[in-house]
Amino acid sequence: MNYLENYKKWIMSKEVDEVSRGELLAIQGNEKEIKERFYTNLEFGTGGLRGIMGAGTNRINIYTVRKATQGLATFINLSRPNENKSVSIAYDSRHFSETFAEEAALVLAANNIKSYVFDSLRPTPELSFAVRHLKCDAGIVITASHNPSEYNGYKVYGPDGGQITLETANSIISEINKLDIFDDVKTCVKEDAVEKELFSYIGETIDIEYLKRVTELSVNIKLGRQVSDLKIVYTPLHGTGLMPIEKALSMLGFKDVYIVESQRNSDGDFPTVKSPNPEEREALAEGIKLAKSIKADIVLGTDPDADRVGVAVQSKDGSYELLTGNQIGALLTYYLVSNKNNITSRDAVIKTIVTSELGARIAKSYGASVFETLTGFKFIGEKIKEFEEMNSFDFLFGYEESYGYLAGNFVRDKDAVISSILIVEMAAYYKLQGSTLLNAIDDIYKEYGYYTDALNSFTFKDIDSLDKMNLIVDKFRDINELIKVFPDITIIEDYNTQKRNILGSSHSERIELPSSNVIKIHFTDESWFAVRPSGTEPKLKLYYSAVGSSLNESSERMDLLRQKILKMIDL
């Protein structure tokens, strides 16, 4: 069926609600818009769905959510045919998030699977906790993370509380692909689901247990009361983080907490920011403005589903400097390993392949083991599960450069609630010594080397974007061309072929990670860069890490690297 036939099918279908039908009738004759909405089905990737909200097969709406849930329900029923089955469901502050959550629950109920639905918006990491705590077969969270307001998403979690594995995702996709979006999807009315005890709300009981576990991760439990003058500014960026973070900080004795009022309330329009992305200074602008007025020590901002946190710290001149994800990860690694007694090689720190080596160097210097995974916290979660099943290592800390961090083993995804309390406690720890997080990262650089890290991200919006991104990545597979531009290359890692080529050697090593379309290039001075198409967005990402004996040296090395690479790809 081509896109025009698909478009006509939706307009004529009795299943399509009048609002969606009206939206489609409004684009009649606009072939470009019709093609964009119907030329393909919104892809269920390794974690679920993410896309622009609206009517059409290439949009996220109640019909694409129902279809995805039907595929999940079929997979669960085939996997556990003779047992009681359940799924936890959470949602963030985006438009239609609550509606999508309820629609998913009603499809599950129609398939005889019980849903535990949070009674109001909650962070993604609390959903991960709930899956484990309630011993569910799966979890669903409705969120598009830090994407702009026109997006929403649907993420699926496995029974361990981690994002589903590639194998599970493929099995669910296989079931989804068998379905007609209208004829093959089961649903029911809410009253029937409730009466059959296949739909129930959860909330405060889970909150209490989750926050108890979060606060137990405190390294120095008395710091909140010892450093009573630590001023903290926090913004949830109109998302889900306010309740758990405010409560967790209070439970640990941190009382001098100021919430950014203009961003306190949940709002799917995210009216005070261009994008609710805590990686960007603009997203923290309101928080920094408040911090300047009260001379706060630290500013925290979490994304809408509160799995990532950005940090700004007051410098000597009163301005506020943003820490990078790599810097926060290195600081937290140092704080945890330097304050834990008897670190051994059984203690494990996990990072992704595009994350700076600084945290790894710190962990190894204290005797901990370090593991690498592909990009995406799902792989860190899988590694934690492996440690437990094999009784091989004790998970200490995991992080990625994109502002995601995790300590503890009761959540299996990045957690901005856990991260925020540890970051605040760390700031109090250094303030007690007359220092700051900025001083601390400078001290780390002096001991372990100066690292400058950066990211370039290019968005592709046309239909042929995947082909264009793959062609660019392929440029970096041409070894002869690479050597002409970068004569000091030592290692080329191709994660697609799972080969590590050591230049000057006649052999290659196997990369013991799943295949992924990533190229990573290493240099003689331990600097590197990597090229990777995003797994969740139509974006090409370029990661750079430059190492030097001074900040100026690493920064200059970074600038040169970036110039050469951008010239190569000509974007």
Write out pLDDT tens, residues 129-145: 999 999 999 999 999 99
pLDDT greater than 70 at residue 569? yes
| Across 449-463, average pLDDT | 85
pLDDT greater than 70 at residue 535? no
pLDDT greater than 80 at residue 410? yes
| Across 278-292, average pLDDT | 96
Cβ–Cβ under 8 Å, residues 44 and 71? yes
pLDDT greater than 90 at residue 233? yes
- Which pLDDT does position 480 carry in this prediction? 86
- Which pLDDT does position 513 carry in this prediction? 95
Catalytic residues: 145
Write b or e for each residue in 166-197: b if 16 or more Cβ atoms lie within 10 A of its Cβ, otherwise e: eebbebbbebbeebebeeebbbbeeeebeeee
- Which pLDDT does position 464 carry in this prediction? 63
Tell me the per-residue pLDDT of 147-204, one tens digit each, with 9 for 90 and over.
899 999 999 999 999 999 989 999 999 999 999 999 999 999 999 999 999 999 999 9
Cα dihedral 127/131/136/139 (nearest 10):
40
- Which pLDDT does position 470 carry in this prediction? 80
- Which pLDDT does position 31 carry in this prediction? 93
- Pairing assessment for the beta strands 48-52 and 539-548 based on DSSP bridges: unpaired
Beta bridge partners of 500: 493, 509
Mean pLDDT of the chain: 95
- Which pLDDT does position 536 carry in this prediction? 62
pLDDT greater than 60 at residue 46? yes
pLDDT confidence band for 335 (50 / 70 / 90): very high
| Across 460-472, average pLDDT | 73
pLDDT greater than 90 at residue 45? no
Distances (CA, A) of 209 to 88, 127, 130, 221, 410: 16, 12, 9, 18, 11
pLDDT confidence band for 570 (50 / 70 / 90): confident
> Looking at 74-83, 203-212, 344-353, which range is the least confident one?
74-83
- Which pLDDT does position 537 carry in this prediction? 67
Distances (CA, A) of 1 to 4, 58, 263, 355: 8, 14, 45, 43
Tell me the per-residue pLDDT of 538-559, one tens digit each, with 9 for 90 and over.
789 999 999 999 999 999 999 9
Q: Which domains does the chain have, with CATH numbers?
A: 40-202 (3.40.120.10), 230-448 (3.40.120.10), 450-569 (3.30.310.50)
- Which pLDDT does position 388 carry in this prediction? 96
- Which pLDDT does position 467 carry in this prediction? 75
Residue 60 per-residue DSSP state = B
pLDDT confidence band for 533 (50 / 70 / 90): confident
Q: How many whole angstroms separate alpha carbon 102 and alpha carbon 392? A: 40
> Looking at 197-211, 223-237, 522-536, which range is the least confident one?
522-536
Cβ–Cβ under 8 Å, residues 268 and 150? no
Residue 155's Cβ-count burial label (10 Å; 0-12, 13-18, 19+) is buried
Q: Where are the alpha helices (DSSP H) in 310-403?
A: 325-339, 358-365, 377-390
Return the axis-axis angle of helices 416-432 and 204-215, rounded to nearest 10°.
40
